Amino acid sequence: MFAQFIITLLILFVTAENTNDFVRPLDPKLFSSNEKLSHFRFYWHDTLSGHNPSSITVIPSSFKWNSTSVFGLVNIFENPLTLGPQSNSKLVGKAQGFYASASQTEVDMLVVMNFAFTEGKYNGSTITLLGRDPIFDKVREMPVIGGTGLFRFARGYAQLSTHWFSPLTKDAIVQYNLYVMHY
């Protein structure tokens, strides 16, 4: 199947007219659809406290006049992903990325992150999310915008909900449910 795909692409490349076009459409009948829909559920542990935090503030908020927002805050993280909410639950990967407070009136985060899986057949593959996270909403939704390895051309969405949050330390455990279309 893969060899047939490569041969088809080579034929298209060799027989294509030499034009200055930036892009040209391909016939969708040349590709068979073996797409799968997978559901992943895991817990994201964002730890800002202690001797070995998984998330650090790289730009603090300087937004003083409105206490309902941390506008301008930027954190970089490498957070563990586990099967259960306990920190000693089975590790299935890590989330690497950043979040930034992008609202002047609410605590809404712009989140850019890769889920890098380390378990099973998905070991070495990633899923990428980019979106808005209004962290005090009970359930939030962010889009899956791509991936690597077994998740090339991935698309879908994540539903996330806060499992636990400490107002004192700002540590959080968030449950992620990902619904991903991939090959």
Tell me the residue length of the chain.
183
Angstrom CA distances, 22 to 3, 6, 11, 19, 101, stand at: 26, 21, 19, 9, 37
pLDDT attached to residue 139: 98
**pLDDT at site 172:** 98
Q: What pLDDT tens digit does each residue of the chain (183 aa) get?
A: 555 555 555 555 555 555 567 787 777 766 667 889 999 999 999 999 999 999 999 999 986 655 678 899 999 999 999 999 999 999 999 999 999 999 988 889 999 999 999 999 999 999 999 999 999 999 999 999 999 999 999 999 999 999 999 999 999 999 999 999 998
* Alpha carbon distances (Å) from 85 to 31, 65, 162, 164: 41, 36, 10, 9
